[in-house]
Amino acid sequence: MRNNLGPALAVGALLVLGTGLGLALFWAPEDADQGVSQRIFYVHVPIALTAYACFGWGAWKALRLLWTREARYDLESYTAIHMGTIFGVLVLVTGSIWAKVSWGIWWSWSERQLVLFLVLFLFYSAYFMLRYSTDPGPRRANMSAVYALFGVVLIPVSFLAIRLAENFIHPVVFTREGPQMAGSMFFAFCVCLAGMLLLAAALYQAELAGKRLDARVRELREALA
């Protein structure tokens, strides 16, 4: 049963995300205000929500680790944050492209989501530094878990901070709050979001299998040495 999870997720991601991107590009109506560039929305926002989901999943596994002290949660938490960081970089790339096409600039401090993801990118990059510069063992697992928990608390706190900072850093001149989405747009968005979550889950399973194999091979090497 467990062994079939990865392939099932991959097939699901292929079907749902393929359908979703097709709907977003060819079926959803063109936005009256922004024109064709609004179609970036169907990848940018699902990727961002997926990144949050990965960070949340990593923090949940971290909490389980601290709770139960079972070593396997360390690798699961690490893998989830690894995936979250990949999706986080994609948020920065797609958001930057959207800023360029909408406002002619690659970066805008008035775009909350982008600024938040920049902060999170720095935060989780430090997570990798912490892991790589600490010897493996229960203490590293605990420290990584605590840091991962700090991450999910930092997300809402930073969001609030960025909202507050807008008053003195950069007043909001651009907004994307246009008219409400049409029903068909929302449907395409939901399919894209489901597909993106499935893609993240499939990548997570494959990456986790790889990292577990890596750990097993290392164990085997130590046992044989």
Phi/psi at 78 (5° precision)? -60, -45
User: How many residues make up the chain in this entry?
Assistant: 225
Number of residues that bind another protein (CB under 8 A): 62
For 183, the token pair is 């029903």
Stretch that binds another protein, among 52-60, 105-113, 127-135, 181-189 (CB under 8 A): 127-135
Q: Between 29 and 35, whose beta carbon lies closer to another protein?
A: 35
C-alpha 75: how far from its chain's center?
A: 17
For 26, the token pair is 């060819």
Contacts of 189 (CB under 8 A, 6+ apart): 24, 41, 42, 45, 46, 181
Does the protein bind another protein through residue 149 (CB under 8 A)? yes
Q: Between 76 and 155, whose beta carbon lies closer to another protein?
A: 155
Is the separation of the CB atoms in 212 and 2 below 8 Å? Answer: no
Q: Between 25 and 182, whose beta carbon lies closer to another protein?
A: 25
C-alpha 191: how far from its chain's center?
A: 17
Residues that bind another protein (CB under 8 A): 21, 25, 35-37, 39-40, 43-44, 47, 66, 86, 89-90, 93-94, 97-98, 100-101, 119-120, 122-123, 125-126, 129-130, 133-135, 138-139, 142-143, 145-147, 149-150, 153-154, 157-158, 160-162, 164-165, 167-168, 199, 203, 206-207, 210, 213-214, 217, 220-221, 224
